[in-house]
């Protein structure tokens, strides 16, 4: 099974009060000598370590059963080791979920706790749009979904035009007419493809798309594209629809998504830095980011790949605070320490579908605290208007009153 954002959101809600939630990530080793054997040894070590940590633990029996089961399953993961894998399990609550992941995880990990460890999948999925891959030539079109390294062909989305006879049969006595007819057929075909694309984007089947075709067909499809379909195109590769293999399609598409992601990450970092300095539509540093998250202002979250910081979480209201205080500043109840605040904010980020990018080795970003956010609006600029009024105004197509500023980076 391939993971979706919706599934991650569900997992982010899961909690086992006895801390018997087991998370396992499997990253296959690079194919080299004895890698297989090393993996098996590593897995046993991880399991032993996890089990040792369970002593005096409420969910011990449940977690032990799951860790044993992970060990048994891992033999199979090892032998078809081209995929990454994720397992989310809690025997006490009768839960066992296995997912395929692209083999680009930071490493193999086994964790036990109250909640599932979601950082590795959030890293993969937080900034991974729903991508369609469209292959086209004069007569054919094939549409695929690319989800976390899995490519699936969409059947029945596109019905090829019925072609009557072979057009070149006319060439002997009416070459001109036949050519016009062929050109017209091709135009109709590309128009139909553009129509399917527009519809797929409108229905949210995909948010971005990639085109695989020959140059000559690109120039025929392009004028037919709806402006927002043209905008949602993130890259092109050269493809012969009849002969390209699934592996080739996947490799090309994956590469283009990565290029697009790193370009988008680069733009976002420079945007957040300049906004934080000038317009107030960006915030940097843990304290301000936590505050903006609680206000529901955050549109895009940027976190340093290795960002780690302590914080406290209120046991009553869930408030997160960068200051390690024993009493919640919001409701005065007791707090508990959070060892990795980047992990603690993830369920909230995932639940609200906030676009999340992990930033690697960026000295500028490092200087501002390795965590930052772009805001959709600043709530401290909102004038007190009755709730619902803003919505009604928006529906009526009128401008927002006062100084409420909206921000869209896309």
- Our finding on whether 314 is near Zn ion (CB under 5 A) is yes
Q: In sequence order, what are the residues at sequence separation of 6 or more whose Cβ sits closer than 8 angstroms to the Cβ of residue 400?
A: 390, 393, 394, 406
Q: Which range of residues in 8-16, 43-51, 234-242, 324-332 is near Zn ion by CB under 5 A?
A: 324-332
Residues 327-356 touching Zn ion, rule: CB under 5 A, are: 328, 330-331
- Our finding on whether 317 is near Zn ion (CB under 5 A) is yes
Distance CA 121, CA 316 (A): 28
Q: Minimum distance from CB of 280 to Zn ion (Å)?
A: 27
- Our finding on whether 9 is near Zn ion (CB under 5 A) is no
Q: Minimum distance from CB of 320 to Zn ion (Å)?
A: 10
Q: Which range of residues in 27-35, 161-169, 212-220, 320-328 is near Zn ion by CB under 5 A?
A: 320-328
Q: Minimum distance from CB of 380 to Zn ion (Å)?
A: 21
Q: In sequence order, what are the residues at sequence separation of 6 or more whose Cβ sits closer than 8 angstroms to the Cβ of residue 28?
A: 39, 77, 78, 81, 82, 83, 84, 103
Q: Minimum distance from CB of 15 to Zn ion (Å)?
A: 17
Instruction: Candidates 198, 288, 319, 405: give the one binding Zn ion (CB under 5 A).
Output: 319
Cβ closer to Zn ion: 146 or 320?
Answer: 320
What is the DSSP track for 15-67? --TTS-EEEEEE-PPPS-TTHHHHHHHHHHHHHHHHHHTTTT-TTHHHHHHHH
Q: Minimum distance from CB of 41 to Zn ion (Å)?
A: 45
Q: Minimum distance from CB of 244 to Zn ion (Å)?
A: 56
Distance CA 54, CA 111 (A): 11
- Our finding on whether 325 is near Zn ion (CB under 5 A) is no
Q: Minimum distance from CB of 14 to Zn ion (Å)?
A: 22
Name the helix (H) or strand (E) containing 389: helix 389-395
Compute the Cα dihedral for 93, 120, 276, 322 and give only its sign. Answer: positive
What is the DSSP track for 74-107? HHHHHHTTTSEEEEEEEGGGTEEEEEEE-S--S-
* 8 A C-beta contact, residue 389 and residue 365: no
In this structure, the number of other CB atoms found within 10 A of the CB of residue 287 comes to: 15
Q: How many of the chain's residues bind Zn ion (CB under 5 A)? A: 7
Q: Which range of residues in 223-231, 237-245, 293-301, 326-334 is near Zn ion by CB under 5 A?
A: 326-334
Q: Which range of residues in 49-57, 109-117, 219-227, 307-315 is near Zn ion by CB under 5 A?
A: 307-315
Cβ closer to Zn ion: 122 or 314?
Answer: 314
Half-sphere exposure of 329 (CA within 13 A, CB side): 8
Cβ closer to Zn ion: 317 or 339?
Answer: 317
The structure tokens listed for 135 are 């292959």
Distance CA 143, CA 152 (A): 9
Cβ closer to Zn ion: 135 or 314?
Answer: 314
Which residues make up the interface to Zn ion (CB under 5 A)? 314, 316-317, 319, 328, 330-331
């Amino acid at each position: 099974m391939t993971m979706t954002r919706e599934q991650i959101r569900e997992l982010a809600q899961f909690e086992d009060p006895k801390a018997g939630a087991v998370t396992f990530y499997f990253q296959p080793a690079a194919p080299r000598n004895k890698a297989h054997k090393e993996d098996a040894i590593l897995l046993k070590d991880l399991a032993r370590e996890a089990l040792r940590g369970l002593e005096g633990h409420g969910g011990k029996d449940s977690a032990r059963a799951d860790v044993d089961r992970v060990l048994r399953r891992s033999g199979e993961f090892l032998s078809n080791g081209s995929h990454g894998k994720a397992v989310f399990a809690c025997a006490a609550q009768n839960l066992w979920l296995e997912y395929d992941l692209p083999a680009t995880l930071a490493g193999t990990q086994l964790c036990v706790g109250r909640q599932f460890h979601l950082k590795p999948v959030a890293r993969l999925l937080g900034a991974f749009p729903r991508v369609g891959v469209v292959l086209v030539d004069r007569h054919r079109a094939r549409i695929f979904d690319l989800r976390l390294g899995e490519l699936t062909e969409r059947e029945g989305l596109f019905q090829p035009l019925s072609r009557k006879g072979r057009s070149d049969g006319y060439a002997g006595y009416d070459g001109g007419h036949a050519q016009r007819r062929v050109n017209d057929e091709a135009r109709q075909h590309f128009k139909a493809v553009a129509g399917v694309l527009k519809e797929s984007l409108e229905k949210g089947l995909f948010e971005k798309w990639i085109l695989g075709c020959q140059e000559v067909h690109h120039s025929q499809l392009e004028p037919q594209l709806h402006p927002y379909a043209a905008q949602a195109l993130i890259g092109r590769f050269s493809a012969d629809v009849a002969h390209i293999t699934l592996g080739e399609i996947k490799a090309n598409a994956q590469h283009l998504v990565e290029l697009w992601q790193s370009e988008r990450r680069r733009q976002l970092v420079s945007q957040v830095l300049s906004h934080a300095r000038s317009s107030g539509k960006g915030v940097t540093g843990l304290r301000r980011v936590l505050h903006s998250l609680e206000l529901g202002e955050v549109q895009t979250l940027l976190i340093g790949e290795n960002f780690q910081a302590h914080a406290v979480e209120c046991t009553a209201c869930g408030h997160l605070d960068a200051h390690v205080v024993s009493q919640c500043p919001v409701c005065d109840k007791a707090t508990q320490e959070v060892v990795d605040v980047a992990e603690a904010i993830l369920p909230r980020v995932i639940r609200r579908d906030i676009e999340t990018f992990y930033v690697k080795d960026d000295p500028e970003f490092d200087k501002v605290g390795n965590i930052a956010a772009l805001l959709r609006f600043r709530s401290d600029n909102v004038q007190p208007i009755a709730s619902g009024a803003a919505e009604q105004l928006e529906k009526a197509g009128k401008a927002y009153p006062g100084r409420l500023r909206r921000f869209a980076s896309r």
